[in-house]
Amino acid sequence: MKKQKGHPLFYELTKEEVELHDAKNADYRSVRDPLANFKRVASIMALYPDMVWATPESVAVVYMFKQLDSYLSLTERGLEGGVENISTRLRDVSIYAKLIRILHEEMA
């Protein structure tokens, strides 16, 4: 094995990130594509080509899409979820819906 030349903590932190990526990706991926969640959410966004996505309200919508997409992906694959589970994903959707309502009212 090649001797590491960088700071030892850098490699430890990188290892932690790889482990977290692996754990979270199990919840978001598809059977064949580890980046499927980004592609699915982008496909939803593409359905609304005239939407202005660069607003706090729209960002909250995208975050909600991410949680809803994770719920659908887990359910489709018959999984409960690792880092977060079905219940926490659905609670997040509910929370984002309330935050979107607040942001919408603030923008009015």
What residue segments make up the domains of the chain, in order of their start?
A: 8-107
pLDDT of residue 30: 86
pLDDT band at 16 (very low <50, low <70, confident <90, very high): very high
- At residue 99 the predicted structure's pLDDT band, cuts being 50, 70 and 90, is very high
Confidence category of residue 25, pLDDT binned at 50, 70, 90: confident
Mean per-residue pLDDT of the chain: 93
Instruction: Give pTM, 2 decimals.
Output: 0.81
Cα–Cα separations (whole angstroms), residue 86 to 8, 46, 53, 77, 78: 37, 26, 27, 12, 11
Residue 36 class from Cβ within 10 Å (0-12 exposed, 13-18 middle, 19+ buried)? Answer: middle
CA distance 14 to 7: 11
- Region 46-73: mean pLDDT is 96
Compute CA distances 79 → 45, 65, 76, 84, whole Å.
Answer: 25, 19, 8, 11
